[in-house]
A and B are shown apart, each in its own frame.
Chain A
Amino acid sequence: MALDLLNKQTVQVVDGRDLTWQDAICKASQPLIDNGTVGNDYVDSMIDVVEEKGPYINIGPNIALAHARPSSSCKKIGLALMKTNHVVNLTDEKHPVTLWFVLAATDSNSHLGVIQKLSEVLMNGENVQRLLRATTVDEILRVFK
């Protein structure tokens, strides 16, 4: 299913203590750069849009879904997740985040299946609690199975 995009290559768990929110988005995106899904430009635009427009990617308690408009540096649909064991504030302390999702979209429609599946998982409070408690990549992947 669509959430196969989350796998051992694209999911990470890190300490997070020394990260800024910009670092967190970069680090969470790194697997998508490594596997050729997005270029560095896309990562820069995800950061720029938060700097310009505020922390709207904070979609739920402790959850961020970083994304930007589709661009030429976005080669295919992608999803990555980084869990930080320590909270990183997204722009300010009103927006503490530990689950950093990164979504790459190539046009306005192709990623909708991914969003749909992701939303189904996150609308279940128990799943979110399991993700927030998870300390290993395997524990996280089990939630999306």
Chain B
Amino acid sequence: MKFEALCQSGLGSSFMVQMNIQNLLKQENVKEDIQVDHSDIGSATPDQADYFFLDPTLETSAGNLPKDRLIILNSLVDPNELKEKVNAILDKEGIEHS
């Protein structure tokens, strides 16, 4: 399983999201090996990850990525929103978490 955080430059906010996801997976005691990485939206390809995290301003630039694997984060610094959306994926994929 691989998650990819995307932003316009692949430098700042996508890395922030990557770390926040990694911290959350730790908090949720996820044992499954989930890779989390970050990159810029321009270079993202559908086979690069199972789920892509991005902010609403990027949705239109994400045309080549499958919609059902896009997770839109309205705020990149809202722990509750992130938890809700990551846990929804974990549940859907049958991945154990606390």
Contact = CB atoms under 8 A, between A and B. Distances in A.
Interface in B8-31: 8-13, 15-16, 19-20
Contact of B9 (A49, A55, A119): A49
Contact of A56 (B13, B77, B78): B13
Contact of B11 (A53, A108, A119): A108
Interface residues of B, number: 20
A60 interface: yes
Contact of B77 (A63, A67, A68): A63
Given A61-B75, A65-B12, A56 B19 contact: no
B78 to A, nearest CB: 7
B16 A56 contact: no
Contacts of B75: 59-61
Nearest to B24: A123
Contacts of B76: 59-60
A122 B57 contact: no
B7 A56 contact: yes
Nearest to B13: A59
Question: On chain A, which size bracket covers the interface?
Answer: 20 to 34
A60 B57 contact: no
Given A59-B55, A60-B76, A116-B19, A103 B12 contact: yes
B46 interface: no
A115 B77 contact: no
Contact of B16 (A53, A68, A119): A119
A69 B79 contact: no
Given A59-B76, A123-B79, 6 more contacts: A59-B75, A61-B75, A65-B13, A115-B12, A118-B16, A123-B20
